Amino acid sequence: KAGVTQTPRYLIKTRGQQVTLSCSPISGHRSVSWYQQTPGQGLQFLFEYFSETQRNKGNFPGRFSGRQFSNSRSEMNVSTLELGDSALYLCASSLGVGRTTYEQYFGPGTRLTVT
Amino acid sequence: AQKVTQAQTEISVVEKEDVTLDCVYETRDTTYYLFWYKQPPSGELVFLIRRNSFDEQNEISGRYSWNFQKSTSSFNFTITASQVVDSAVYFCALSEADNQGGKLIFGQGTELSVKP
């Protein structure tokens, strides 16, 4: 089975611009979660989508948004970029169904640099 | 409040030494899950183990073993006979059942360096 894929792998943007990152989960996985990783704050949860609905949300400003499509692929968008948004953005997928908490499998990440 | 603490920021050992990575968690939920992930220099997080709060059995997988103790809210990870390929950052994470598993709370990570 193919793993979680993320595109693009690297991105350089200017302050004030917006950016869209894409994530394709493992086939059959319906839950997609997004995380931001920075040296200072570590790994922080952004949001989770399941069946095209946001099921959980982290403590990030409204500039960070996401969506999920019917094929479980997900995108996240960051508007009005700030220097502090420079980070590795990780996407993870899991089965997500029922009451069991399944393990999440991570993609390679998108390295975003804001200048 | 939910929180995961990995007090050891960096650990350096010589190959073949045993090493234990500590993880302490906080949660008010009675049903929760604990995880360990490995992040090698390539950057991709690799899943190692999942444990639910009702299963306190220790687990061994090859050179890896995990010790889960609810009484001390700890979920420690031991690598026996460490190898250079074990060098990576290791993260402990917590997920509460109420959020249906989509949200992982990570510790700050422990960077393990295994020298030949």
Q: What count of other Cβ atoms lies within 10 Å of the Cβ of residue A10?
A: 9
The single-letter DSSP state of residue A60 is -
The pLDDT value recorded for residue A81 is 98
Contact A35, B39 (CB under 8 A): no
The pLDDT value recorded for residue B102 is 80
Whole-angstrom distance, CA of residue A97 vs CA of residue B100: 8
Contact B106 A101 (CB under 8 A): no
Q: Check whether B73 has a pLDDT greater than 80.
A: yes
The pLDDT value recorded for residue A112 is 98
Find the farthest-apart pair of alpha carbons in chain A and give their distance in angstroms, rounded: 43
What percent of chain A has a predicted confidence (pLDDT) above 90? 87
> Chain B residue with minimal CA distance to A34?
B103
What percent of chain B has a predicted confidence (pLDDT) above 90? 78
Whole-angstrom distance, CA of residue A98 vs CA of residue A96: 7
Q: How confident is the model at residue A99 (pLDDT cuts 50, 70, 90)?
A: low
* Chain A hits for B102, Cβ within 8 Å: 31, 33, 48, 50, 55-56, 94, 96
Pairing of strands B88-96, B105-106: antiparallel
Q: How confident is the model at residue B99 (pLDDT cuts 50, 70, 90)?
A: low
> Chain B residue with minimal CA distance to A103?
B50
Contact B43 A48 (CB under 8 A): no
Q: How confident is the model at residue B77 (pLDDT cuts 50, 70, 90)?
A: very high
Q: Which residue from B33, B47, B100 is facing A55, i.e. has the nearest CB?
A: B100
CA distance B81 to chain A (A): 27
Task: Indicate the SS3 state at residue A81.
Answer: coil
The pLDDT value recorded for residue A87 is 98
Whole-angstrom distance, CA of residue A37 vs CA of residue A35: 7
Q: What is the pLDDT of residues A56-80, one digit of tens each?
A: 899 999 999 999 999 999 999 999 9
Q: How far apart are the first and last CA of chain A?
A: 37
Instruction: Give the pLDDT mean for A76-87.
Output: 98
The pLDDT value recorded for residue A34 is 97
Q: Which residue from B91, B103, B109 is facing A56, i.e. has the nearest CB?
A: B103
> Chain A residue with minimal CA distance to B110?
A42
The pLDDT value recorded for residue A98 is 65
Chain A contact probe: residue of B31, B44, B106 with most A CBs at under 10 A = B44
When mean pLDDT is compared across A16-20, B40-44, B76-80, B103-107, the lowest value belongs to B40-44
B51 and chain A in contact, CB less than 8 A? no
Angle at B46 between CA A7 and CA A58, to 5 degrees: 65
The pLDDT value recorded for residue B57 is 85
B61 and chain A in contact, CB less than 8 A? no
